[in-house]
Chains A and B, each alone.
Chain A
Amino acid sequence: MTYLRPLLLLKTRRQRALLACSLGLPLLGCVPDFDDNTSQIETLRVLAIHADPAEPAPGEAVQLVALVASDETESPTTLSWSLCTARRPPTEAGPVAQKCLTDFGSESDALTALGEGENVDLSIPADSCRRFGPLPPPVEGNETVSGQPAAPDQTGGYYQPVVVGFSDEPTAPTLGSVRLLCGGANVPQEELVKFNSGYRPNQNPEVAEVTAQLIDDEGGEGKELDWTDGIVAGAEVDWTIHWAECPEQAECGDGLCTAGENATLCADDCRTEPVVGCTGAETYLLADPVSKTVVEQREDIEVSWYATAGTFDLSTTDNDDVVTSSTNRWVAPTEPGQVKLWFVVRDSRRGTTWKNLTVNVVAE
């Protein structure tokens, strides 16, 4: 797509959202700007879903926890959970079969109810890797031959969709997904062996630290800020989320069972209970369908930023040049008061965690 648009300042006080270009449709025109308000928490919202473990196998138990954000001090509504069992047909766009969202809250053959609450425990269905993974899907209806397996994402992953919504507002559900441990596919047998012996399931990231820097009026280098002491109304603050540094290459004995290691090759790291992976930007093995080989990749980590007041420069950021942190600028509201902030951290393999703060915005 081609378009003409006014100059975009990459860092402005008011966050502006560039529209993602419509791929595949050439166009010459002026794209309008929209204010990106997705960072502002004005109503009850589910911001993230955390799965533990982050990459369960079919039949394995997993706990799902939702991050519910609200500008109210209490959130009395109840969450309802469902498992989406319908695969998206090629005639639809989007990440999931649309009926999993539109049928939520009513009887549907596309959804399996999981229960209610801010978290839910379940066993991953035994056929998940057939419905959403690299195995031939179940034969349905009058068919006698199974269909084409699902395609992986860019990290080689397959996902079980989960839908969660507020019991009293089923029309606005939220989509989550749990990465499935299905094994490799789309590579020759010898590569598959390499993959299966060295692939480590995803580890959810963890927030190691949150730091803040106060930006002075001239916009120069900020000074360390103890936000627990309060933040002046209207101040500009650079928030930085830090996470663990992960080794670039596996090293037996470092206490981390990482890509390429297994219980046979490195019992010290991989026979612990539980097996510990790195909680930062891990390296992982990818069965690359293009080169038909197993390659090692490193995760990217993205942070989504939310607040009940004030504005962030960007709704989402990824890791800085330093791969263990991400920074975003927040302008405190001009009115004093309590402000809640949430920082949702996701890795490329959809492992999720978050950190939330409450800060006091004080008058100047």
Chain B
Amino acid sequence: MRFVVSFIAVCASIAVPTPAFAQVDQSGQPGGSAQPSAAPKAPNAPTASRLTKAPELVEFVQAPYPDAELESARSAEVVLSIAVSAEGTVSEAKVIGSASEAFDAAALEAVLRFRFSPAEIDGKPAPVRLTYRYVFEPPPPPVTTGALSGVLRNQATGAPIVGATVQVAEHGEAQTDAQGRFTFVDLPQGPVQVTVVVDGLEAPLKTEEEIAAGVETETSYDVTFPAPVVESEPGDDLEVVVVAPPRLDRRVVSTKIQADEARQLPGTQGDVLKVVESMPGVARSSAGSGAVVVWGAAPADTRTYVGAVRIPALYHFGGLRSVLHGDLIADLELVPGGYGAAYGRGLGGLILVDTKAPQNKGLHGSLQADVLDASAVVSGPLGEKNSAVVSARKSYVAELASLVVDDSAGQYFTIPSYYDAALRFRRELGQGKSLEVGGMLSSDLQNRQSPSNNPALRSSERRTLDFQRVDVHYEQRTGDGERLGVTAWYGHDLATREMESSGVAQEQRGNSHLVGVRVDHQSRLASTLSARVGFDLELVSTENRRKGSLTTPPREGDPYVFGRAPADELSFDTWNSTVVSTAPYVEFDYAPLDDVLHVMPGVRLDPYVQTVSRLRPPQSGSPDLRTLDLDMAVEPRLSVEYTPVDALSLRAGAGLYRQPPLPDDLSSIFGNPLLEPSRGAHVLVGFKYQIIRLLSLDATGFYTRGWDIGSRNPSSTPKVAEALVQEGQSKTMGAQVSLRKELGDDRLYGWLAYTLLRSQRRDAGHSNYRLSDLDQTHVLTAIASYRLGLGFEFGIRARFATGFPRTPVKDAYFDTSRGRYEPITGDRNTIRVPMFFQLDARLSKTFQFKTSKLEAYLDVQNVTNRKNAEEIAYSPDYQEQRFVVGIPILPVLGARWEF
């Protein structure tokens, strides 16, 4: 920021034959030194007229310090002769004492806009001539630092904590004074790590504050000392509550994990986002599916966001690796249900991935390689205010496998090929403002050929998923916790599938363009009230193409039998759909009793527009009729958190939700172009109990309902464009319990989580509910990682899960037209695949060097080589059944170098 320095010296002279002069001193503008000066005229003027009132400057104009002179950074004086009219305006100005061309021009431009109260001669307004001296002082250097001050208090008593040590990383430390206050000055702008050490604390409090240039950030930390415990627990357990910015993202139930913790857990192979599979509430998906099933909801019902940008998949094909490199991730949060008004368009849960800001101090990065793929990340500053990070990853497991196995056997192996990349650029705008521009892309290919001399067994399949995202994100934070975030993004998704089996060809293609805008503002309105308002827009325009039978691929609820040949009907359709949803929302956090009670009502309005290119199947000679559906939904949300004692918080929440139909379902031949959004409701109750420091128990009971869900038309002659009808319903109820040990400074961290649930569906035309395809009654996950010392870390994960429901085969008949047997199925989803159990282990060794570290790891999935059943397979005549067995023991050896 450039500081304007201006000085005024007023010297009155009279533009008449007998000029008179006056001298006025005025102080200069803030930021500069005032140098009033005057140039008196000679006193030998005629006395026929007398100056009875000197002109007074009533409107001053600052002259900016000329850009051309900034480099010189010198003081300068420009002396000007100014004619002031009888009206008080400056009619003429000329330089009579030059400083330089630039200074002269600046001074002239300013004084010409001065306004004076008119001078009076003999009691009457009259023009006068004055001499002015403008003095310029060089601007001070730009401020790039800020200050941090705050107070440390005992939350229970409100008394200041005296003598505590507050440290700012790489800057120093300060002691709290008698008022509990501390201050740091000259802190670099951007995030700083703050550590608070209180006598008697076993572990310090760590938090992060955002420093804005030229701003003193004020914060306060309230320390809560729990009541003395009766058991022989250590007496130095503390729960430290940081009270600073409003937390309007309180959720009734959620699991949040830092990236550094997630990376070390077994089963992830160092891939941060793979930890989602082990989180409470997440079902164990079929080996290689990569689907995320949360509380029994279909994968498409759970929305995944990277920042404010929605992405179509969390994992590459096969679920072997996630689509975003872990080094770009700060943390991730799973909200299985009951989320607040800021999000919508999903009847399931939320997966929120928060990205890290690029490094702005030095060049950092990592190189990683294992049997699956290799990746690299580089992050660093670009000048004083900018920083950037770029990542890239490419798989080679499919190519490696082709080298290892026989060529002909390779025809039966289907291991996906994938790559992904991301780029992010950040610019600090100062005063807590920042601008980020970024993008990511992901590509997946799965190709399988099964030649056979038996045409009934001949099959091939090719699947691809490519998506790209570009976004611009502006963020502004102030010291009192106010936050404004604005994100605009564009996305492109292309999903294709081509299959041929037993001479039957199928094809699907979806090409989507997405645009999103999110504006989110959080602020503290009063000491007991915070608010979050925002706007969430999403437009999805999709071109679809599909060829094949109505029942392939199968939908949830179809009587699916593994290995059954697809129906050989041939339908074909192309259609376009556009869905626009603009959702303003507001959410409050009313805390009338400090942190004891939080009542968080919210509401989301969801005006919705859907158009589909074709209302009916194409008819020769008839034009296509486009559909237009307008709707508006009000989605109230409410959550309440009550903390009767420090270690215990009780939570409850409820809300209405809805979800637009999938573009795939809007075909006039394969689906229904008039499908409207499905609707749902969530109700949750739960509690969190902090047993001891870093050890907590979390329990939640949940009940979700869904209705108006697209479901197969039960009629044998469905009406035109009604292959799907909006009559499906769902209900899920259950409970999840997790015992979690946070990392802290300890060696051990992990959790034990158990979910009991029942997920059911009621199809159109049916009166009874049946088990959902994704029901998993019991899911138990125990995961832990222990730092052995000397750079070694060992982790173990045990998972137990009920098998997915399947439809039994009661009998079979021979189809002479095709020369094969067909199954006769029983009641939907009345049997199950056997239960699943798997033990994974991970051992890593980190070598620390001066400026880098190298980690070597061995991550072994299915240590006991248990043959877990994934599907029920049948003999060609359906008289015999066996199980498709999942992945055998899979050791993944890898290394990661971080600098």
Contact = CB atoms under 8 A, between A and B. Distances in A.
A27 B868 CA distance: 13
A93 B560 contact: yes
Interface stretch (B152-160, B543-551, B684-692): B543-551
> Main SS of the interface on chain A?
loop
Interface in A100-152: 101-102, 137-138, 140, 143, 145-148, 150-152
B56 to A, nearest CB: 84
Interface in A330-364: 344, 346, 348, 350, 352
Interface string A266-284: 0000000000000000000
Contacts of A31: 873, 884
Contacts of A173: 813
A231 interface: no
A174 to B, nearest CB: 5
A76 interface: no
A304 interface: yes
B364 interface: no
Contact of A30 (B415, B454, B547, B885): B885
A29 interface: yes
Given A17-B875, A88-B716, A174-B814, A290 B453 contact: no
Residue among A11, A17, A26 with the most chain B CB within 10 A? A26
A20 B821 contact: no
Contacts of B409: 6-8
Most buried by B among A24, A88, A187: A24
Contact of B288 (A6, A26, A88, A348): A26
A154 interface: yes
A41 to B, nearest CB: 12
Interface string B751-766: 0000000000001010
Interface string A3-23: 111111011000001111111
Given A174-B813, A175-B822, A93 B457 contact: no
Interface in B567-584: 567-572
B453 A11 contact: yes
Contact-residue size bin, chain A (C-beta under 8 Å from the other chain): 35 or more
Nearest to B446: A2
B123 interface: no
A145 B461 contact: no
B592 interface: no
B824 A101 contact: yes
Contacts of B763: 91
B195 interface: no
A177 interface: yes
A317 B455 contact: yes
Interface string B816-852: 1111111111000000000000000000000000000
Interface stretch (B202-210, B340-348, B499-507, B643-651): B499-507
Nearest to A98: B824
A28 B455 contact: no
A46 B564 CA distance: 21
B448 interface: yes
B552 interface: yes
A192 B619 CA distance: 12
Interface residues of B, number: 107
Contact of B454 (A148, A152, A188, A317): A317
Interface string B227-248: 0000000000000000000000
A353 to B, nearest CB: 12
A26 B875 contact: no
A48 interface: yes
Contacts of B405: 7
A81 interface: no
Interface stretch (A32-40, A216-224, A242-250, A253-261): A32-40
Contact of A23 (B286, B499, B883): B499
Interface stretch (B481-489, B631-639, B717-725, B730-738): B717-725
A113 to B, nearest CB: 18
B715 A147 contact: yes
B876 A34 contact: yes
Given A29-B887, A32-B884, A95-B818, A22 B564 contact: yes
B886 A29 contact: yes
Interface of A: 1-8, 10-11, 17-32, 34-38, 45-49, 86-95, 97-98, 101-102, 137-138, 140, 143, 145-148, 150-154, 156, 159, 171-177, 186-189, 192, 289-290, 300, 302, 304, 313-318, 344, 346, 348, 350, 352
18 contacts: A5-B412, A20-B501, A20-B563, A21-B448, A28-B886, A29-B884, A30-B886, A89-B714, A95-B817, A137-B717, A148-B718, A153-B569, A154-B503, A172-B811, A192-B620, A289-B571, A315-B819, A317-B455
